[in-house]
Amino acid sequence: MQLQVTQRVAPARHCSRRPLRVNAVLAAPLPDTQKQQGVEALKKAALITAVKTPYLPSGKFDLRAYDRLVELQIANGVDGVIVGGTTGEGHLMLWDEHIMLIAHTVNAYGDRLKVIGNTGSNSTGEALHATEQGFAVGMHAALQINPYYGKTSMRGLRAHFAALLKEGPAIIYNVPGRTGQDIPDALVQELAAHPNFLGVKECTGNSRIGNYTQQGINCWSGNDDEAHDGRHHYGSAGVISVTANVIPGLFAKMMHGPPDPELNAKLQELIAWLFCEPNPIPLNTALMMCGLVRPVFRLPYVPLSREEREKGAKLLRAVQEHIPGCREVRVMEDDEFLLVGSAHS
């Protein structure tokens, strides 16, 4: 595969950061009753999309393409978006551009859908600072992950989340496949008593979701392939979805409507392809093949192989009428993709 690569080195996200510099209208504090109403509305959001962050050839954000994606999400029944999540490549952003994107989303769309900023970190201090900034620019809630790589003890997990929940409404994110550490049931049960606890994005399966919901603990499925059954058979609030970037209307139908096992079964092959390599590689490639974003990757992500793109093209064409904004699905040539090492030099 021959790909265009710009030879610049980006500062690693876990290293020393540039200071946050955000030009945005700060959000006015809400009365307590309005805050509580907002919390209850967030808990009922059935379809939240972990929205893709598109790029210009320079590697900087393509806000026009981002706005088109968000507009299409709203038009097709999505209740909220995660900004700068794993899918949105928040880990490849500097904090100043991450907070800017949250602020932009709130200012442009905050009255039309819920804006949840992924302001978590494996550093509690860093997560606190980013979360403060996110709420200052108006995000409705935060997504908070447990410390990854440099894992901590149970007491450390408890202290980490307790500190972050003081900042405002939050969804706790349990994805041991990425963090290397599970958040135990006993700790989730403790955290659920906090007034700012919205629920858990749970990626370990529907059995666990069912166990939580039986205890009155709010959950969103973190697995698109299990989301339909999680919603209709295990009591989840809904899903925080990757696939909804491509087919938001079909996921809205499954999350907002009655059980539809036939539709769910038809989508399984597409969902499996969208996770054939680590997320967000297949999703990025799919949106580029559909002409919805420019074919620009921030490294270390690279496009799927041509063989995988050919498989995906057949699956995408089968649902093309449900991909908003897609006029054509192309396999694309290898040299059409641009890989960018840094947008920050």
151 is catalytic: no
Tokens of 58: 């320079």
Active-site residue among 55, 66, 114, 201?
201
CA distances from 251 to 78, 79, 112, 180 (A): 9, 11, 18, 29
First-to-last C-alpha distance (Å) of the chain? 27
221 - beta bridge partners?
A: 202, 239
Question: Residue 215 is inside which H or E element, if any?
Answer: none
At residue 193, φ and ψ (nearest 5 deg) are -80, -10
Which amino acid belongs to residue 216? G
201 in catalytic set: yes
- Exposure letters 194-227 (e unless 16+ CB within 10 A, then b): bebbbbbbbbbebebbbebbeeebbbbbbbbbbb
Which member of 173, 212, 234, 253 is catalytic?
173
Cis check for the bond before 259: say yes or no (omega within 30 of 0): no
> What positions carry a catalytic annotation?
173, 201
